Structures are given as structure tokens and as C-alpha cells.
Amino acid sequence: MTIGQIQLLVAVVYFAIVLGVAIWGAFHTGTEEDFLAAGRTIGPWVGGAVLAATQISAGTFVGTLGRHYLTGVSWIWIWFGVWAGWMVSAIFVAPKLRRFGALTVADYVGTRFASEGARTLAAALIIVTYTIYLTAQFQAIGEIASAIFGIAPLVAMSALLASTGFYTVLGGVRSSSYIDFVQTLIMVMALLLAVPVVISHAGGIAALGEYVGSIEPRVTGWWFTWKELVAFAMAFGLSIAAAPYEMTRYYSMRDVATVRYAIGISLVAQALIGSTVMILGIGMRGLFPYLSSPDQASSILASTVMSPLLGSLFLIAMVSAIMSTVNSILLVTGGAFAHDLYKRLVNPHASERRLIWINRVAIVVLGVIPFWFASRKLADVQTIVV
């Protein structure tokens, strides 16, 4: 088989699984609670995979791997800030949100402060902020696909919107949770399989460390000061503890104990992902020490270093990372519009069936808007995110 045929086969199998789970989820979605919280039936293993998949995005596979390529070992300390944020969430945030039993973050804000104004403001901020963030995600997939496959960015962005929007609209949180479980397995497996390949090409751990240290001693030592690392870690940790697209996932889990177990499982998955990404970034520095951009490391790893089959799996893992993040954001913004704005301000007596369809329409519209902005490339990805 040619490389193109292998890539096509892997992609077909992957999307067939996604389609099957989406259709299954649609048949188990009868109420708004089913659509936005999976009927509160998600267990710890699926829940843990969901939290990991939601956090891990293209930024991890491209940006973090590239950061390790450039700065080496010391960037790994950022993960401890991320994990500290998860611990804060497990101890203080998650139990309160799950006991409250809301469907959206704005739902909690409005009831907690007994203010419809606060609810409306929270929903509006979530929609605006995440519309901007989604613009960056669409633009990123366009640039990645263009660099690796030579595909027009608009085609790649259209494929992302169509595929992710399809399974999100069909089954809501239930479908997305089980698809996230599959995507997390793919991401972890792809990274674990890539590590021995890169180490073998580099001549072993000892040879790799010696070589990259001779190129740039800070790669195997300290690139950042401890103050810089603490600042980075705090920024990432606080963002995790307060991210609406992570927080809303707690509502779908069975109870508080399930949420805490899920966070623990998520931390294990993130530890595997974080450590393997570090090794791959440093390994690529040893194999290709003078790339024009650190962000090229992951695409060259998949297309040049790995076999066609493993490279295809790695590319699917990158796509999975983007899809899981986009999916979670679409659910949050769609829920903010349908549950917190439409139901509260327009039609308080809307039927469950109507609310599900309003959620679906909102997801489509709030997916098309950032797609439109991304197609015009009004700024670079990093500027949009910041």
C-alpha cells in the first residue's frame, strides 16, 4: 500500500468509529439534560478521558512539542502548574459544581448570585470569548493541513467543522464523551509508540542527551528562571481550574466521587502525554537541530521519522486533539445560548424537544461564525488566542 492509501485507511476507520458513536448517542438523547449532561451517567474512566481530551489540543502536539524542541527539559515543569490547577478543581471547584446540579456554568452563576443579569452576562462572555478562541482552532487546522498535506486551508477547516459539528449536533455530550474516550486512547497510544522510534533514530537516550547538550546546553538544563516557570505554571493552572469548557463536563458525571476519580485518571493520562511530548520534542531537536520553526517538529516527526502506519496514527491523534477541544467549546457556547439566553429570556416554557433543537441550531451557527473569521485570517493564531 502507498502512504496515501494507508493514511486514507486509518482516517476511514477513525471516522467510521466517530460516526457510529454519534448515531448511538443521538438515539439516547431525549431531553436537554441528556444533550448537555448525558443524563448525568458518565463514569470515572470515560469522564477522565473526557477531561484529558478537552485539555489536550493542537497546542500540545504542535506548540508544546515545539516548545520542548526549543527549550528542552525545563518546560516540563509547566505541567505541575496544570496539575495543581486540577487539584484545586478536584478539592474546591468540581464538588460544588456537581452538587449544584446545573447544566451550564452561567446556570450556576445566575443561581449562586440570584441574578438573571449575572447569568446573561456570563453566557454572553462565554459565547464571545470562545467564538474568538474557536477562530484560532480553525485557523490552526488549516495551517497544519496546508503544511503537512498541501491541502488548501479552507478545505481542512471545512472538514473540521463538518465532522466535529456533525457528531456534536447529533448526540451532544453523550456522543462527545465516548468519542473523547476513543480520542484519548488514540493520543496516548500514538505518543507512546512514537517515543521508541525517535529514541532509536537518535541512537539512544544517552547519545541524544549528549548531542543536544552540545548544541545548546540549556536544552538539557535550565532554559527558564524559576520565576518564569512559576509564572507560566500559575497561569496554566488557574486557567484549568476556571475553564468553562472543562467545568461543564463535571455536570455529566454520576456524582462527586466520580468527578474526583475522573480527575485522577485524567492526571495519569496527562502525565503520559506530557512526558512523551517532552521526549519527542528533545528527540526531534537531536534529529533535526536547525528547523526554521519549532512548530515544524511534530509534522516532520509524522511525515519523515515514523513509518506510514504510525505516522498516520500520529496525524489522527493530532486531529483528535483539535476535534475534542472544538467539540467541547461548541457544546459550551451552544448551551450558553439555548439554555441561558433562549430558555431564560425568550421561551421559558419551551419543550424538551425544542430546547434540544435550539441547542443544535446554536452549535451550527456558533461553529460557522468562527469558521468565517478564520477563513479571512484576520490575525495569526497566537495573536487571536492572546
Q: Of the given ranges (107-111, 143-147, 315-319), which has the lowest mean pLDDT?
A: 143-147
Residue 73 in grid coordinates:
527539559
Q: Tell me what pLDDT residue 147 has.
A: 67
Mean pLDDT of 327-345: 93
Instruction: Give how far Cα 335 sits from Cα of 40, 56, 168, 224, 338, Å.
Output: 16, 22, 12, 40, 5
- Write the pLDDT tens digit of every residue in 37-55: 988 999 999 999 999 988 8
For residue 190, the 8-state DSSP code is: H
Q: Of the given ranges (49-63, 88-102, 162-176), which has the lowest mean pLDDT?
A: 88-102
Q: Is the pLDDT at 145 greater than 80, yes or no?
A: no
Q: Of the given ranges (99-113, 161-175, 330-344), which has the lowest mean pLDDT?
A: 99-113
Q: Is the pLDDT at 377 greater than 80, yes or no?
A: no
In the numeric block, the cell 421559558 is attached to 348
- Write the pLDDT tens digit of every residue in 74-86: 888 888 888 888 8
Mean pLDDT of 251-269: 90
Q: Is the pLDDT at 339 greater than 50, yes or no?
A: yes
39: left (phi over 0), alpha (psi -120 to 50) or beta: left
Q: Is the pLDDT at 5 greater than 80, yes or no?
A: no
Q: Tell me what pLDDT residue 177 has.
A: 93
Q: Please report, as a single letter, which amino acid is at residue 71.
A: T
Q: What is the mean pLDDT of the chain?
A: 85
Return the CATH number of 42-385, one of 3.40.1350.10, 1.20.1730.10, 1.10.287.610, 3.40.1160.10. Answer: 1.20.1730.10
Q: Tell me what pLDDT residue 379 has.
A: 58
From first CA to last CA, the distance across the chain in angstroms is 43
CA separation for the pair 237, 239 (Å, rounded)? 5
Q: Is the pLDDT at 31 greater than 50, yes or no?
A: yes
Q: Is the pLDDT at 382 greater than 50, yes or no?
A: no
Q: Is the pLDDT at 135 greater than 50, yes or no?
A: yes
% of residues, the chain, pLDDT over 90: 30
- Write the pLDDT tens digit of every residue in 150-209: 778 888 889 889 989 999 998 899 999 999 999 999 999 999 999 999 999 988 888 888
Buried b (16+ CB within 10 A) or exposed e, 367-381: beebbebbbeeeeeb
Q: Tell me what pLDDT residue 35 has.
A: 92
CA separation for the pair 15, 223 (Å, rounded)? 40
Query: Coil, strand or helix: which one is 261?
Result: helix
Q: Is the pLDDT at 380 greater than 80, yes or no?
A: no
Instruction: Give how far Cα 268 sits from Cα of 150, 249, 271, Å.
Output: 36, 18, 5
